[in-house]
Structure 1
């Protein structure tokens, strides 16, 4: 085990060193974009749906970022920049937020994009269905559209987080003329989307690929440069590595290959590996305890299990160093809100055993106290290994665990709908404000409604709901920070979720794939500015 850990530590350092070098130079000064070509990208796992307004799972966001434009984009410093909205302003009292939309934008079916689309989507989708936006836009009392290019949001209290979630993933606008009066969740356009983005949906061959084609009527004249984007479904990790190495695929995000392969791929002249483009995410991995079932209804049991888990081992061994131990549901990357001195659950199996004894769950004749089911998000081997580590850790304190696997649709239904689980392992993006990505894990209003990526634990606490509501409307930055620190203290005491690690994702791309410096939300952004430099293919040294 010591030798393995040392090898992994060395591998992490080797990859990290090349990541710094590999991140540079996606497009050099003087490069002239070339038109044409097909970009092949990895999508794993396959999306369940192709509308991020209804399902915020990462695969959906990755594909639809090129089909739908956001009202804004975010640069590498997470500052909002113009997209479908050319400009915006907030009234001095914070109770009115106005968006000025870009003119001449068309949906892919030729209908004009207008303020009516934004108003309808906000009222019927974001506030009623969207996993995150129900809370983010909760303070919006009405929406005015004085003309086709102006949207005015009226709020009961200021909401500083709104501007942090207006890109194509955070607040995807749907075409009103195709959705109004329909069963939104079962609308056929959810899987053959019509957007305003640089690429038009063409085909989805389930289990194989998703094809997008260049939008000839795109508002950003001359773009996109690519003719086509093909997202390939490649479930096998070794096959993904081989496809990238051979040049069959030119783009893969969210750490598409195992670290042992990344260490090799990063040294090849025909590939680049980078950690840029994830700044908007602030991702954290956690275990949801089902607080409505079995022994996990007892907070002492949850606290005991927390002390049976070595989060340093998860970060270094399970995640090969591409993670750091998490101490709070608000990641340390959100430094202003993160409570570094909050409640801690240090690794202490003996204390965990004592707490379980005190809770009345003593070891039986076979050494077992009770048995739990662990379900993990089926996004790759790293998540499976996390579940297997958790199984081993719990066994040391007398708790048996069954690790169960299923596809994404079954996982989300089991956790967020049927609630047929004991512990689920998943990850959320906290985004640039905890109101956007963290509050949803604890708000009681979403429990059991089969809304993926919300409150899976079943946790209900009136105080926490009140704190969440207060964070949505507090305009004073210092008071708002204190509200989030109170929230962290409360949920870490009750422990419906156990923060495990803060994740560090990377992207693998072809060296001849060119683009400007990636945006802070590039993982969910479009390929609008990407192009393929064919000359680089000829010039690139052959890999061994």
Structure 2
């Protein structure tokens, strides 16, 4: 007997109609609930050097890793903390202790119990080997473990940003029993991770794909809903667009050509998501290598800044989707952003005059009309179009900008180990707090050959160091904001960089893909909630 037949037999006509409507409502509601099963084909670019974001902050690691390893906390889109491996937390009145109650019954993928010893080991390891962790956890003096389900982070000075730094994409918790006593940077578990997360690492076929499988023992049942995630590395944006349009791929966090965005918005089976993760704080910039003799001259750096039309860059390279910002703290961190800072006025004539005055006259670089030659690198997270824009801009004022293109791993080595560049176009995100995302770039103590995504310029200014260090421990929000305002003003005058602003981040998904980014980490979350919506009959 159908619900409708049953209703007609028991209730009068009007009541039966109401009951039928109720059954229809519940059927619709049930169909909207997460469905179990399926394989997600996810396109990622570029190819990461490893999977766990432990010794690197590279995009691929920070996107893939959190599906396998977890953090103590996750965050909503207002960056309010939510439970993950920690179920409760508290802070001492003096701000020097954070106490975390850990989730019981959590297993590592190899069957071992997750305990506070893993938390202590991970935090202290991040302090040593993570590019941002050296600053994030600089004030951590110890992590107490009074019992297996309590971890107490003890600080020498307050760290007002710390409670927001504990997502898996930023501070992954890794298994002590597999890492302890090993060379952390060379550990095989960086590329074949064992975690506590919703998906278990299965295989990585270099040059092809990574396979993650559903963790049947995940603590947050019935999650995850997917059976499998296949990560495919497709480096060409047009090829990613074709795969999404044909249905061969379900999700692309690396996006499509910006020229295709408007067309994709009209496709019936596609969702285009332009949300920017508040946890990530997208930001791009151009850094000068201040070890290059010509670029040690402020007037040369200012001339280059005057030759690059940042607003035209946003319109042509970003197709108008980005948010230009001339300050190293972008508009995404509005409480600290200094809106009074504007790009250096676009003025090629003034730039040429400044170069003449600095001794770089046309023809001085050897070729007719060339003042000097500069090596230009670009992080693959920036498009080649961006490097071409810079090359053309500098060419107009007599600078021969020679672009060198590399895959991601080679780029990192060239820029941060060999330091074989004069100008590099980077994609160093602001993140959720300037102490974590911005300090690493301008703090002289964070310059270290071989340390990726840090002080690429080799910028040294003791006053800036003091401002950043003071802001990192200042608990009064008004005073902290003023410290960051003063910092932005000085950096803008010194010109170790040309800030471009928040680049567009376009995520494209098949409409059947639901709940891929329910947390503030967006695509860098866990995919535990992701499911395929079944077509309605």
Match of 1:191 in 2: 191
Residue 263 of structure 1 and its aligned partner are, at CA, apart by 2.1
Deviation, 1:329, is 0.5
CA deviation after TM superposition for structure 1 residue 29, in Å: 5.7
TM-fit CA distance, 1:272? 0.7
The answer to whether the Cα contact below 8 Å between 1:224 and 1:530 also exists between their aligned partners in 2 is yes
Q: Deviations over 1:62-90 (max 9, x none)?
A: 11121111211111222111111111111
The 3 A distance-change label for structure 1 pair 263 and 126 is same
Structure 1: runs of 5 or more not aligned: 1-27, 540-544
The offset of 1:378, in angstroms, is 1.7
Range with bigger deviation, 356-365 or 143-152: 356-365
- Identify the residue that residue 452 of structure 2 maps to in structure 1: 452
Preserved contact between residue 131 and residue 451 of structure 2 (Cα < 8 Å): yes
What is the aligned partner in structure 2 of residue 499 from structure 1?
Answer: 499
- Runs of 4+ in structure 1 deviating by more than 6 angstroms, as ranges, are none
Which residue does the alignment assign to 1:128? 128
Correspondence for 1:163 = 163
Aligned to 2:96: 95
Q: 1:312·1:324 contact (CA, 8 Å) conserved in 2?
A: no
Provide, for residues 368-413 of structure 1, a one-character-per-residue CA deviation record: whole Å limited to 9, x for no partner: 110101000123xx52111110011111111111011011111111
Distance 1:532 1:286 in 2: 37
Counterpart of 2:58 in structure 1 is: 57
Counterpart CA distance in 2 for 1:69 and 1:83 is 8
Q: Which whole-Å deviations, capped at 9, do the CAs of 1:395-449 have from their partners, x for residues lacking one?
A: 1111111011011111111111111110011111111211111111112223243
Deviation at 1:144, TM superposition (A): 0.9
SS of alignment partner, residue 101 of structure 2: strand
Secondary structure of the 1:457 match is coil
Aligned equivalent of 1:335 = 334
> Matched residues in 2 for 1:136 and 1:517: separation?
25
SS in 1 for 2:129: coil
- Which structure has more relative contact order (CA 8 Å, sep 6+)? It is 1
Give the Cα separation in 1 of the matches to 2:393 and 2:195. 46
1:371: which partner in 2? 373
* Cα distance between partner residues in 1 of 2:299 and 2:234: 42
Residues 34 and 533 of structure 1 are in contact (CA less than 8 Å); yes or no, is this contact kept in structure 2? yes
Write the distance in 1 (CA, Å) between the matches of 2:356 and 2:517.
55
Residues 505-524 of structure 1 aligned to structure 2 (within 5 Å) = 505-515=505-515, 518-524=518-524
CA RMSD of aligned residues (A): 1.6
Q: Tell which deviates more after alignment, 386-395 or 470-479.
A: 470-479
Give the TM-score taking structure 1 as reference length.
Answer: 0.90
Segments of structure 2 that go 5 or more residues without pairing to the other structure are 1-27
What is aligned with 2:439?
Answer: 439
CA change 1:285–1:29 in 2 (3 A) is farther
Query: Is the CA contact 2:48–2:61 (under 8 Å) kept in the aligned structure 1?
Result: yes
Distance in 2 of aligned mates of 1:350 and 1:29: 65
In structure 1, the partner of 2:23 is: none
- Measure how far apart 1:517 and its partner are: 6.6
Written as runs of structure 1 = structure 2, the 5 A alignment for 1:96-111 is 96-111=97-112
Which residue of structure 1 lines up, in the alignment, with residue 219 of structure 2? 219
Residue 395 of structure 1 corresponds to which residue in structure 2?
Answer: 395
Q: Shift in Å at residue 343 of structure 1?
A: 6.3
- Matched residue SS, 1:111: coil
**Normalized against structure 2, the TM-score is what?**
0.91
CA contact (8 A) 2:516 2:523 kept: no
The Cα of 1:516 is off from its aligned counterpart by 7.6
Question: Hey, what does 2:46 align to over in structure 1?
Answer: 45
Structure 1 residue aligned with 2:4: none
Q: Are 2:276 and 2:505, in contact at CA under 8 Å, matched by a contact in 1?
A: no
Task: Name 1:487's counterpart in structure 2.
Answer: 487
SS of 1:87's equivalent in the other structure is strand
Q: Secondary structure at the match of 1:346?
A: coil
Give runs of aligned pairs for residues 278-317 of structure 1, distance below 5 A. 278-317=277-316
- Worse-superposed segment, 364-373 or 189-198: 364-373
In the aligned structure 2, how far is the partner of 1:354 from the partner of 1:444?
31
Number of residue equivalences: 506
**Which residue number in structure 1 is paired with residue 21 of structure 2?**
none
Which shows bigger deviation, 75-84 or 276-285? 276-285
- Measure the CA separation in 2 of the matches of 1:286 and 1:193: 32
- Do the aligned partners of 1:285 and 1:499 also contact (CA within 8 Å) in 2? yes
Q: Secondary structure at the match of 1:40?
A: strand
State the distance in 2 between where 1:347 and 1:325 align. Answer: 14
3-state SS in 2 of match to 1:534: coil
Call closer, same or farther: CA 1:458–1:73 in 2, change over 3 Å: same
SS in structure 2 at match of 1:279: coil
Give the corresponding residue for 2:116.
115
Give the superposition deviation at 1:354.
Answer: 1.9
Greater mean deviation of Cα atoms: 245-254 or 271-280: 271-280
Task: Name the CA distance, whole Å, in 2 between partners of 1:276 and 1:331.
Answer: 16
Q: Between Structure 1 and Structure 2, whose CA radius of gyration is higher?
A: 2
